[in-house]
Amino acid sequence: MKSKKIVTIGGGTGSFTLLSGLKNYQYDITAIVTMADDGGSTGKLRDELGVLPPGDVRQCLVALSDSSEKLRELMNYRFDNGDLKGHNFGNLFLSALEKINGSFSGGIVEAIDILNVKGSVVPVSEDDMRLTIKLNDGHIIVGEKELDDNKQVREIGIHEIRLSKSVRANRRAVKAINEADFIIIGPGDYYGSIVPNLLVSGIRLSIKKAKAKVIFVAPLTNKKGQTSGFAVSDYVSNIEKLIGKNRTDFVVYNSKKPHKNMLRRYEKQEGKNSLVLYNYDNNRKYKIVEGDLLRKEKVVSTIGDALAHTRAFIRHDSNKLARAIALITEYSEYRSFNIL
């Protein structure tokens, strides 16, 4: 049988988690990745070398790689001293390939071959993509890194985010969406990894018109000042303001609560009621796939990772999440179902 074509839209740890599980299934995968990142090692390389942000692309390449564990470990290696402190080897590798090939996409094609990647990884745009964040008091701040590093975001809250200037959608990304059977939005940081992709007009218009069914993977937790108090329906309605009303066909939702100690730790950081809850709306058009999607293993931060404080420690399990997607692709005619 012909492999189903799946397009994922996101970035960062969320895309890494999803793709790590999906690569074990016989899918034709294209990962569309945000280019708005400007923090940590990625931000330094972007500013100093004038390259496109490599960090999110690197994570997707590693997730889909069928190379040895040692090579994948090398791509994620982070220097913890000297002039390269904080830099990731994979980020340097991709930046060097961009310089050699004259384009970021050309460098990614080379990396896909070197790393034996199962699928394609496509930057959402090859233009200079930056975020502008408007706070609830009207104050404007610039840069994706401000989402987690600016105290005003947490204290005042976000009114909206926009692109600092219009960027062109990558033609390969648009082509993949047009040909897809399923489009998966998320999981990942809502304002940092998901929404920036949908702010690219060519991407959101392609999703509106595509024949593919749209799957939204609901976040596990909310972020203070960004999505405080959001339920599943809030995420869906906000995304559909960009991709079209009732465009979401499926929502994948975790119904398992984290261990009380982990939840207590997270609430101390992000405030009470920080779990994303499902509010049972009888008027919903999308189908629900719910179950235990939590990762049980403890998340260990990498030495030298300057952004460790921003990374979630309550995460999806790669295999559980991929199984949920597999259920949808095989049994999409059912109204809703649980993951056992």
| 2 is a domain residue | no
How many residues does this entry show for the chain? Answer: 340
Say whether pLDDT at 230 is over 50: yes
Question: Residue 305: its pLDDT value, please?
Answer: 45
Question: Residue 116: its pLDDT value, please?
Answer: 95
Domain count, the chain: 1
| 120 is a domain residue | yes
Confidence bin at 310 (pLDDT 50/70/90): very low
Say whether pLDDT at 50 is over 90: yes
Say whether pLDDT at 311 is over 80: no
The arithmetic mean of pLDDT across residues 297-320, rounded, is 65
Question: Residue 20: its pLDDT value, please?
Answer: 96
Kind plus residue range of the DSSP H or E element containing 217 = strand 213-217
The domain of 100 spans 9-338
Tokens of 334: 């059912």
pLDDT in tens, 169-194: 999 999 999 999 999 999 999 999 99
Residue 313 CB partners (closer than 8 Å, separation 6+): 262, 265, 266, 298, 299
**Dihedral in degrees, nearest 10, Cα atoms 13, 17, 20, 23:** -110
d(CA 143, CA 131): 5
| 3 is a domain residue | no
Mean of the per-residue pLDDT values for the chain?
Answer: 91
| 92 is a domain residue | yes
Q: Which residue has the higher pLDDT, 34 or 262?
A: 34
pLDDT in tens, 98-155: 999 999 999 999 999 999 999 999 999 999 999 999 999 999 999 999 998 899 999 9
Question: Residue 282: its pLDDT value, please?
Answer: 72
Say whether pLDDT at 333 is over 70: no
| 293 is a domain residue | yes
| 315 is a domain residue | yes
For 161, phi and psi rounded to 5 degrees?
-125, 150
Confidence bin at 280 (pLDDT 50/70/90): confident
Q: Which residue has the higher pLDDT, 137 or 281?
A: 137
Angle at 200 between CA 61 and CA 141, to 5 degrees: 95
| 1 is a domain residue | no
Which of 143-152, 212-221, 258-267 is the least confident region? Answer: 258-267
Instruction: For residue 216, give the DSSP letter.
Output: E
Q: Three-class SS of residue 30?
A: strand
Looking up residue 143, the CATH number of its domain turns out to be 3.40.50.10680
Residue 260 CB partners (closer than 8 Å, separation 6+): none
Tokens of 282: 């009888």
| 3-state percent helix, strand, coil for the chain, nearest multiple of 5 | 40, 20, 40
